[in-house]
Amino acid sequence: MSCLELKDLYDGFRDPKVIKSFQKLIALEATKLLKPINIMEVCGGHTHTIMKYGLTQLLPNNINFIHGPGCPVCIMPKERIDHAYTLAMQDDVILLTLGDMIKVPGSHGSLQDARSRGADVRYLYSPMDALKVAEENPDKKIIFFAIGFETTTPMTAALMDSVIKRNIKNIFFHINHVTVPEAMELLVEGRDDTHCIDAFIGPAHVSVISGAKIYEIFPKKYHIPVVVSGFEPVDVMESIYMIVKQFNEGRSDLEVQYKRLVSYEGNLKAQGLIHHYFEKVDLFKWRGIGRIPNSALRLRDEFAALNAEVIYKNILSYEEINNHKLCICGDILRGLAKPHDCTVFGTACKPTSPLGSCMISSEGACAAYYKYGNLL
């Protein structure tokens, strides 16, 4: 049996011939559309793919993209970033988090700034690496600042599982996990004739965990087609083709393009682990969007001993902080505006001096527009 190489996972999905074929198929199908359609790609990863591979340049004018709120760094309110900073600045704390979080500025600076002021801040590839850090630093409190959508939540739960089973006493959790469908529903409920979302491209990695079933409500209740899509250019082009076909055939279905790993039910074991440790609540205001019912996960009360928010409640502030007045990240995250509509885009707000969260994360729409130029 031949061994599967890493490149086998992406090579074919960037094949110029296949991409060009889909371009032709979409163009042909799009001539039959009765009106222009607005497709929201919910996830920042898809925004990144679309901009990086210049896919908008391959589409006819009657297919538009609206960029969605699915970037875990972008939607993190300043209050939560300040929590990370405050925890990191404690003498006996090592703060661990995932890469992109390091750069996000809160009211006192970013975690990168905290580090230059003496804090021990480290980024992880896998949350399980926290076990090693804890073992090597028995006299320190290791706090894992957990962020991300359904994709990263199971890893946090798995780490928690190990901490409990191995009776590790120096790992704690600050949980900032959020969920996708609740935000999508809020956007659909809030739409009007000028800001219409006609179809969704759903992130495949979320559905690998949670299944395609989480999007069922959109075709059923709102008659909005959803295609669960992979992240390679061929995946996204195929998904666009599937969506346009649905319109021309008068359908609004839930379809899976990323059949390589997505099932209707998803990963039941991961779902079980998440359910064991977390409960769905309205934990914090999404940056730019506000409160969304049941959109975040909270550590269940029985695990309060692991919860950094409980342990450090005396030093963590919950006062809401306003965003920069000129920044329109909120409108961008809700799909009401594009980066170019912002007066400070590329001038006062750049990746090196971001005013808003969409410019910070590599998956933010503003960062993608700035980096790749949205050339036409």
Partner 1 sequence: MNKTINLAQGNGGEENAELISKIFYQHFKNDILEKCEDAAIIDGGRLAFTTDSFTVSPLFFDGGDIGKLSICGTCNDLAMMGAKPAYMTCAVIVEEGFEIADLETIVVSMKKELEINGAIIVCGDTKVVPRGSVDKIFINTTGIGVVQKEGISSSSVSQADTIVISNQIGRHGATIFANREGMKFSSALQSDCTSLWPLVEKLLAEDIAITAMRDATRGGVAAVLNEWAKQSNVCIEVNEESLPVSDEVRGICEILGFEAYNLANEGTFVLAVKSDDAKKVVDILQSFEEAHHAAIIGQVTHQYDGRVILLSAWGSKRFMDLPTGELLPRIC
Residues forming the site for partner 1 (CB under 8 A): 5-7, 9-10, 16, 19-20, 23, 45, 51-55, 57-58, 72-73, 98-103, 112-113, 115-117, 123, 125, 147-149, 151-152, 205, 233, 351-352, 361-363, 370-373, 375
Our CB check for partner 1 shows the closer of 157 and 311 to be: 157
Our CB check for partner 1 shows the closer of 336 and 368 to be: 368
Shortest Cβ 168–partner 1 spacing (Å) = 21
- Compute CA distances 120 → 38, 45, 102, 110, 156, whole Å: 45, 29, 12, 13, 20
Our CB check for partner 1 shows the closer of 99 and 290 to be: 99
Q: Which residues pair with 124 in a beta bridge?
A: 98
Supply the DSSP string of 78-137, one letter for each residue. HHHHHHHHHHHTSTTEEEEEEGGGGG---SS--HHHHHHTT-EEEEESSGGGHHHHHHH-
Shortest Cβ 55–partner 1 spacing (Å) = 7
Place of tokens 């690998």: 208
Give the Cα separation of 204 and 373 in Å (integer): 26
Shortest Cβ 205–partner 1 spacing (Å) = 6
Shortest Cβ 223–partner 1 spacing (Å) = 30
- Compute CA distances 205 → 35, 125, 212, whole Å: 31, 17, 10
Our CB check for partner 1 shows the closer of 59 and 197 to be: 59
Shortest Cβ 287–partner 1 spacing (Å) = 16
Q: Which amino acid is at 114?
A: A
Our CB check for partner 1 shows the closer of 59 and 336 to be: 59
* 127 contacts: CB under 8 Å, gap ≥ 6: 96, 144, 146, 152, 155, 156, 158, 159
Shortest Cβ 11–partner 1 spacing (Å) = 9
Our CB check for partner 1 shows the closer of 225 and 233 to be: 233
